[in-house]
Copies of this chain bind each other. A is one copy, B any other.
Amino acid sequence: MLTERQRLILNAIVDDYIRSAEPVGSRSISKRGDVGYSPATIRNEMADLEDLGFLEQPHTSAGRIPSHKGYRYYVDHLEPIYQGLPTELRSLRNYFAEKLNASEQVIQHAAMILSHITNYTSILLGPEVFHTSLRHFQLLSLNETTAVAIIVTSTGQVESKTVSVPPGVSVSEMEKVVNLLNSKLVNVPLYKLKTRLYRELGQEMERHLTNFEEMIGILDNIFVDTDTDQRVYLSGATNMLTQPEFKDVEKVKDILDLLEETPTLMKMMAATQGSAGIQVRIGTENDHEAFANCSLITATYSLDGEALGTIGILGPTRMEYARVMSLLGILSKDLTTMLSKLYK
Contacts and interface: CB of A to CB of B under 8 A. Distances in A.
A307 interface: no
Contact of A241 (B154, B156, B256): B256
A140 B152 contact: yes
Interface stretch (A8-16, A88-96, A97-105, A171-179): A97-105
Contacts of A156: 142, 146, 148, 162
Interface residues of A, number: 42
Interface string A208-247: 0000000000000000000000000001111001100011
A164 B100 contact: yes
Interface in A138-161: 138, 140, 142-143, 145-146, 148, 150, 152, 154-156, 158, 160-161
Contact of A150 (B142, B150, B249, B260): B150
Contact of A142 (B140, B146, B256, B343): B343
A247 B238 CA distance: 15
A117 interface: no
Contacts of A143: 343-344
A164 B101 contact: yes
Interface string A64-107: 00000000000000000000000000000000000011110000
Contacts of A247: 249
Given A260-B238, A343-B142, A162 B102 contact: yes
Contact of A253 (B154, B155, B241, B248): B241
Contacts of A148: 152, 156, 158
A47 interface: no
A135 interface: yes
Given A146-B343, A152-B160, A156-B162, 13 more contacts: A103-B161, A138-B138, A140-B152, A143-B343, A145-B342, A158-B158, A158-B160, A235-B260, A237-B256, A238-B253, A238-B257, A241-B249, A256-B256
10 contacts: A101-B146, A101-B161, A101-B163, A142-B154, A142-B156, A146-B343, A148-B156, A156-B162, A236-B260, A241-B252
